[in-house]
Structure 1
């Protein structure tokens, strides 16, 4: 039997905080502080246009995304689910109080209590998926 080395609570915390404090954060200094706390230094972010490695690159992707949607908020869709050292978390993004303009899933692989890899899946039915994939 494989023993789980990562706490399910920690994985849920990482997914929840990453959504709000990294991708939902407009202030670069607060976003960078959250990255230091939540992500491994060599963490890899996989998004539809490609992959980036490290805090600086992840902060840039999150900041650039935030700048294109400054009035959007991330709203969880349910609670994070955890299996071994991985977790997934569904969310929507759009103006506060309105239906999400796009939806997706974050799937995280956790190592030593930090996000080692995050895979972002945009739902094909959302407009953002079609905009991003058309540019690829």
Structure 2
């Protein structure tokens, strides 16, 4: 059974960028990302699974206790989708918010676009 765009969005959020364990994170990256995938964020672009793994580890290390929480269910359209989320320490107000957009090719993430949103 092929993963849905929504499943890929949530796995990216929780199993890749929300995962502290490098072995579990790498396994998830292998499962959900194309080997030539690209992750775009305001500070740069990261090409390929190795670079996505590296930057996901760097980001998670800056706030190891933060958890990502979707604000609503992911939305899908064709081969793309988006999910809006907040992140912060459990039991505390969110520290930041964002929206992930993905493009899917052959049932795997080909590109992720991260936009940071203003907290309300």
Higher-Rg member (1/2): 1
Deviation at 1:97, TM superposition (A): 2.0
How many Å separate the matches in 1 of 2:82 and 2:70?
11
How many Å separate the matches in 2 of 1:100 and 1:110?
29
Q: Is 1:14 matched with 2:14?
A: no
Q: Normalized against structure 2, the TM-score is what?
A: 0.95
Aligned positions, number: 118
How many Å separate the matches in 1 of 2:53 and 2:21?
10
Q: Is 1:88 matched with 2:82?
A: yes
1:99 maps to what in 2?
93
Q: Is 1:33 matched with 2:50?
A: no
Q: Normalized against structure 1, the TM-score is what?
A: 0.84
Supply the RMSD in Å over aligned alpha carbons: 1.1
4+ residue runs over 2 A deviation: none
How many Å separate the matches in 2 of 1:34 and 1:71?
19
Structure 1: which 5+ runs fail to align?
1-6, 127-136
Q: Which has the higher strand share?
A: 2
